[in-house]
């Protein structure tokens, strides 16, 4: 068609056999380059797929491990709660077993007292039983402390009475109504006591 541009057909500038061979080699080289490039891309894609599969496998293993860890933790909590409940129920088992023989001795003393007239034997038996009981409880951390003649300490004593006396300094323990006890050096029960105060001076009426 007139006015239209004709497509230029490349003309081999070198029609010799050497030129044809060179052109063929260039085409083959380009084809090999494209093939190598494609192979390289396919290899990279394969490696990326392999890495992705490995990461997915690792993520699944981590998730499964997390589920197992969560299950183990839940089982541990349940087991610990059960053990704590059991411990709370039977924490004093050894202490109670240690006390039972003294209850037996006191019961025997009461039964024996009904058959004898001499109360001195009964009193001595109870005194020895009480002494043995305190020694046993001492092994479990129970101890008592002296109060009479010592300064009144509100953290250790509970004042029941105030007694006027000139035999003791003011604010001293005069008498102990109920012993105080410590459990492993911590106050378990304060001692109930009476506390001294100075004698009030008599006020003589003025003449």
How is the chain split into domains, by residue range? 17-90, 92-140, 145-199
Query: Which of the pair, 16 or 130, is modelled with greater confidence?
Result: 130
Q: Label residue 150 exposed, middle or buried (CB < 10 Å: 0-12, 13-18, 19+).
A: middle
Is the C-alpha dihedral spanning 193, 198, 199, 202 positive or negative? negative
pLDDT at 168 exceeding the cut of 60? yes
pLDDT at 170 exceeding the cut of 80? yes
pLDDT at 169 exceeding the cut of 80? yes
Angle between helices 93-113 and 119-139 (to 10 degrees): 180
Average pLDDT for 28-35: 74
Is the distance from CB of 129 to CB of 105 less than 8 angstroms?
yes
Per the listing, tokens 């005069």 go with: 174
pLDDT at 15 exceeding the cut of 80? no
pLDDT of residue 207: 47
pLDDT of residue 2: 46
pLDDT at 39 exceeding the cut of 90? no
How far is 60 from 66, CA to CA, in rounded Å?
A: 10
CATH 2.30.22.10 is held by the domain 145-199:
yes
pLDDT of residue 199: 86
How far is 133 from 106, CA to CA, in rounded Å?
A: 11
């Amino acid at each position: 068609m007139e006015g239209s541009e004709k497509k230029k057909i490349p003309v081999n500038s070198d029609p010799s056999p050497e030129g044809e061979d060179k052109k063929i080699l260039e085409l083959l080289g380009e084809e090999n380059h494209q093939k190598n490039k494609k192979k390289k891309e396919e290899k990279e894609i394969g490696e990326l797929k392999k890495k992705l599969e490995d990461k997915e496998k690792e993520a699944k293993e981590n998730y499964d491990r997390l589920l197992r860890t969560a299950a183990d933790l839940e089982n541990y909590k349940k087991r610990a709660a059960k053990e704590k409940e059991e411990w709370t129920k039977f924490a004093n088992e050894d202490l109670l077993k240690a006390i039972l023989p003294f209850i037996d001795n006191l019961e025997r003393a009461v039964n024996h007292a009904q058959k004898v007239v001499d109360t001195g034997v009964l009193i001595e038996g109870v005194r020895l039983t009480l002494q043995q009981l305190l020694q046993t409880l001492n092994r479990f951390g129970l101890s008592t402390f002296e109060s009479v003649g010592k300064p009144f300490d509100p953290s250790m004593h509970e004042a029941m009475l105030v007694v006027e006396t000139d035999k003791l300094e003011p604010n001293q323990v005069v008498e102990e109504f109920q012993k105080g006890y410590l459990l492993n050096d911590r106050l378990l029960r304060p001692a109930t006591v009476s506390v001294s105060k100075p004698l009030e001076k008599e006020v003589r009426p003025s003449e």
